[in-house]
Amino acid sequence: MERFRKEITQVLRKEIGGKAGLASKQIGELLELPTESAHGDFAFPCFVLAKAEKKPPQTIAKELAAKLKLTDNIDRVEALTGYVNFFIKPAKLAETVLKEIYDERDAYGASDRGKGRRVVIEFSSPNIAKPFGIGHLRSTIIGNALTRIYKFLNYQVTTINHLGDWGTQFGKIITAYKKWGKADFLKGDPLMNLYKLYVQFHQEEEKHPELTDEARQWFAKLERGDREVRELWEWFRDVSMEEIRGIYSLFDIHFDHQLGESFYTDKMPAVIDQLKKLGLLEESEGAQIVRLEKEGLPPAIIKKSDDSTLYITRDLAAAIYRHETYSFEEMLYVVGTPQQLHFQQLFAILVKMAHEWAKECEHISFGHLTLKESGAGMSTRSGTIVFLKDVLDRAVELADDIIKEKNPQLENREKVAIQVGIAALIYADFSAKRRKDVKFSWEEILNFDGETGPYLQYTSVRIRSLLEKFSGTLTDKVDFEKLGEAEEQELIKALGLFSRTILEALEEREPFVLASYLMRLAKLYNKFYNKYRVLDQDGEISLARVLLTFCTSTTLDVGLNLLGIPIPEKM
C-alpha cells in the first residue's frame, strides 16, 4: 500500500505542490484510508486547501478530481464531501501486495528504520524474595512486544531486567526471618515462605512500630556489606531467580542483562558527589534532597536521614551507567503508571545534571491488570497479591479443559494448553491501550470464537492446515484478476497495511495497535473463507486464493510472533 501512497502523492503534488505550504511529505501524510470501500482506497482531504484557495472544500475536491491525471495503477478518482477519493485497480493492488509478501516471507513488514540506532529497554523488573505477581505481567509482555518490534525494524536493542533486589524491604524480610524463620523454613516452597514472612512483618509492625527501626538497621548493615546479612540476601536472591527464570522460559523471554538495583550500589556515591558539586543537593530534616519546584515537581529525596538510599538514587546511577556503557539513542522504562512522578523527577534531575540524553528517556506507563473473578486487591504487604504462577496454572487448566472437549485426541495436548493459556493472557493485555486498566475473566479470554488470543491461534492453525492440503506450487503464474471479490479486496488491503501498522505500534509504543490489526485481519480472512472455497475451484481461481491464504498466514504469524504469542502446530 505504501507504493500506492507514494504514487498518489506524486500525482497530487503536480497539481497542489506548494499550495497552503504543502510539501510532498505533508501531502502523503494527509492521505487517509477510508473506512468504507465505496469511498476508495485512499482519500485526500481538501479542507487544508480551503483557506489558501478561498473556496469551499467540496468545490476544490471537484476541481482537483477533474484535473488529476491517472496512472496505470489508479483506476479512477472521485470527489465526495470535500475529499478526493482514489481507487486502485484491484488486480494491481493484489499483485503488488501479494508478491511483496510472498517474496519477503517472514521479513514482510521489516525495515531498516532503526539501523545504527541503539535503544535500551527496561522491563519486567520483579522484586526478589516475593513470588512473581500478576502486577508485573503487563511490564513483562509489553516490554517483550516492544523489544521484538524494535528488533524487527533493525534497531540495536539492549534489554535489561532491573530486579528489585535492594531497599528497606530487605531489612524487613531479614528482620522477619530472624524472628520467625526456621532452619528449614525455605525448603519446599522457599519463595512463598519468604513472602509469608514479609506479610507477617507488616501485620506485626502495626502492633509493634519499633520493628520499623529494626528493619532499617538490618538494611543499613546490608548496605555496609555485613557478611552475615549479605549471605542471607544472596540466598533470598538465588531462590527468587530460580522461579523467575521458569516464568520467562514459558513466555520465551530473554534478557541481555539482569542487573538488580544492588548492581548500582557502588556507583551511587559518584552520583551523590556530582549532585553536591553542581549545587543541586541540599539538606532537609536530615535528608539529602534535590528541589524541583521550577519543574513543577515536589523535591526528590536522594538520601534518607539514616544515610540509606532510595529508588531514585539507584535509578540515577543506573541511567548514567547505561548511557556510558551503551551510548543509546533511546531508553524506555516499561513501568506502571503509579510511578509516573518518580520518572518525572528522575528525568528532571538528569537534565539538571546537564545530561542532554535525558530527553531521550521515556516512561512507557501502563494501567492495572485485575481478574474479574477476584475481588482481591494487589497489595503485597496485605498478603492479597495475585500470583502470576497461580494465574498461569489456572489459564492452562481451563485451556486444557476446552481442548479435551473440542479435540480430545490432540497430540501434545499439555504443550498446546500452555500455549493457549499464554496467548489468552497476552492478548487480554493487548486488547486495550496500555494506559488503560485491564480487567479480564477466564470465560472471555479463553473463548475460541471471540476477540481473544486463542481465536488468533486457531485462525493461524486453520489456515496452515488448509495450505497443507494444497498439492500445487505457488511458483506458477497467478492471475490476479481472479481476486476481484469484495471480501478478497478487503483482505488484500488489510495485508498491505501491515508495514504501516508496525511503524505505528513503534511510534506510539503501543502493542494494542498491532493486536487490533491482527484481530481484524483474522476476521477478514474467516469472512472470506466462510463465503468462498479456496481449493477444488477453477484452477486459476484456486491458485490465486491459495496465494492470498499463504500471504495471510505469513502476515498473521509474523504479527503474532512480534507480540510474543506462541503458535501451536495443531489445535
Domain boundaries, the chain: 2-88, 119-261+329-371
CATH value of 2-88 in 3.90.245.10, 3.30.1360.70, 2.102.10.10, 3.90.1300.10: 3.30.1360.70
> What number is the average pLDDT over the span 401-416?
89
What pLDDT score does 543 carry?
94
8-state DSSP, 418: H
Asked whether the predicted pLDDT for residue 376 surpasses 70, the reply is: no
> What number is the average pLDDT over the span 96-117?
96
Q: What digits encode the pLDDT tens for the residues 40-66? A: 999 999 998 988 888 999 999 999 999
Collapsing DSSP to helix, strand or coil, 158 comes out as strand
Nearest to 56 by CA among 46, 71, 41, 45: 46
8-state DSSP, 257: B
What pLDDT score does 377 carry?
41
Which grid cell sits at 517? 490489526
| 135 vs 33: which has the higher pLDDT | 33
Percent of the chain with pLDDT over 70: 96
> What number is the average pLDDT over the span 170-177?
92
Instruction: Tell me how far apart the alpha carbons of residues 321 and 315 are, in angstroms, rounded to a whole number.
Output: 10
Could you tell me if 247 and 393 are in contact, meaning their C-beta atoms sit under 8 angstroms apart?
no
Asked whether the predicted pLDDT for residue 379 surpasses 60, the reply is: no
Q: Which are the contacts of 393, defined by CB distance < 8 A and separation ≥ 6?
A: none
> What number is the average pLDDT over the span 509-519?
98
pLDDT band at 92 (very low <50, low <70, confident <90, very high): very high
What pLDDT score does 475 carry?
73
Asked whether the predicted pLDDT for residue 488 surpasses 90, the reply is: yes
Q: In sequence order, which ranges of 153-226 are alpha helices (DSSP H)?
A: 168-180, 190-207, 210-224
Q: What digits encode the pLDDT tens for the residues 435-474? A: 999 887 878 888 888 899 999 999 999 999 999 999 888 8
- What does the mean pLDDT of the chain come to? 91
Which grid cell sits at 523? 476476521
Q: What digits encode the pLDDT tens for the residues 239-292? A: 888 888 989 999 999 999 999 999 998 999 999 999 999 999 999 988 999 999
> What number is the average pLDDT over the span 142-157?
98
pLDDT band at 524 (very low <50, low <70, confident <90, very high): very high
Collapsing DSSP to helix, strand or coil, 334 comes out as strand
H/E stretch holding 377: none
What pLDDT score does 378 carry?
44
| 277 vs 408: which has the higher pLDDT | 277
What pLDDT score does 416 carry?
93
pLDDT band at 21 (very low <50, low <70, confident <90, very high): low
Sheet of 287-290, strands arranged across: 281-284, 287-290, 300-303
Q: What digits encode the pLDDT tens for the residues 383-396? A: 556 788 888 888 88
Alpha-carbon distance values, 198 to 134, 154, 298 (Å): 18, 43, 30
Could you tell me if 348 and 297 are in contact, meaning their C-beta atoms sit under 8 angstroms apart?
yes
Asked whether the predicted pLDDT for residue 151 surpasses 90, the reply is: yes
Sign of the torsion formed by the C-alpha atoms of 522, 571, 373 and 383: negative
What pLDDT score does 383 carry?
55
| 538 vs 183: which has the higher pLDDT | 538
pLDDT band at 323 (very low <50, low <70, confident <90, very high): very high
pTM of the predicted protein model: 0.91
Alpha-carbon distance values, 78 to 63, 304, 485 (Å): 10, 69, 21
Instruction: Tell me how far apart the alpha carbons of residues 168 and 69 are, in angstroms, rounded to a whole number.
Output: 71
Q: How many CA atoms lie within 13 A of 469 on its CB side?
A: 12
Q: How many CA atoms lie within 13 A of 460 on its CB side?
A: 25
Alpha-carbon distance values, 545 to 32, 529, 566 (Å): 28, 10, 26
> What number is the average pLDDT over the span 152-178?
93
CATH value of 119-261+329-371 in 2.40.50.140, 3.40.50.300, 3.40.50.620, 3.30.465.10: 3.40.50.620
pLDDT band at 18 (very low <50, low <70, confident <90, very high): low
Asked whether the predicted pLDDT for residue 222 surpasses 50, the reply is: yes
Nearest to 98 by CA among 552, 561, 562, 557: 552
Lowest mean pLDDT among 15-19, 431-435, 510-514: 15-19
Asked whether the predicted pLDDT for residue 375 surpasses 50, the reply is: no
